[in-house]
Amino acid sequence: MEVGNCKFVAQLIYECPGLVWEKNTRGWTIIHAAVWHRHETIFSLIYELGIAKDVIPTFKDTVDGNTLLHLAARLPPPTQLNRLAGAGT
């Protein structure tokens, strides 16, 4: 998920639609990973498919209790933030 290969993720979901319901040890789904790594195209793809968009955002992180909204609201890494115009001022 870190590299953001949208075609690969799309193929995975096509071949195994139940994948979006699978959680890792933190309680994250593939959507959580896409948001954490800031892959808008992957998140948009999954969201547009209409797969569980009302349920998955309520899943909580088993480590610190964060929801999908918490992950989306966090600041990006400094290297990514510095690429935004005016973000450093």
Question: Band of the pLDDT at 25, cuts 50, 70, 90?
Answer: very high
> From the CB of residue 39, how many other CB atoms can be counted at a distance below 10 Å?
20
55 domain-assigned: yes
35 domain-assigned: yes
DSSP code string of 53-84: TTTGGGPPPTTT---HHHHHHSPPPHHHHHTS
> Could you give the C-alpha distances from 72 to 5, 7, 62, 77, in angstroms and in order?
19, 22, 17, 13
3-state secondary structure of 19: helix
Q: Is residue 70 scored above 60 in pLDDT? A: yes
Q: What is the pTM of this model?
A: 0.66
User: Residue 76 maps to which CATH number?
Assistant: 1.25.40.20
Q: Which domain holds residue 12?
A: 6-82
Q: Is residue 67 scored above 80 in pLDDT? A: yes
Letter for the amino acid at 37? H
* pLDDT on residue 73: 81
Domain total in the chain: 1
1 domain-assigned: no
Q: Is residue 77 scored above 80 in pLDDT? A: no
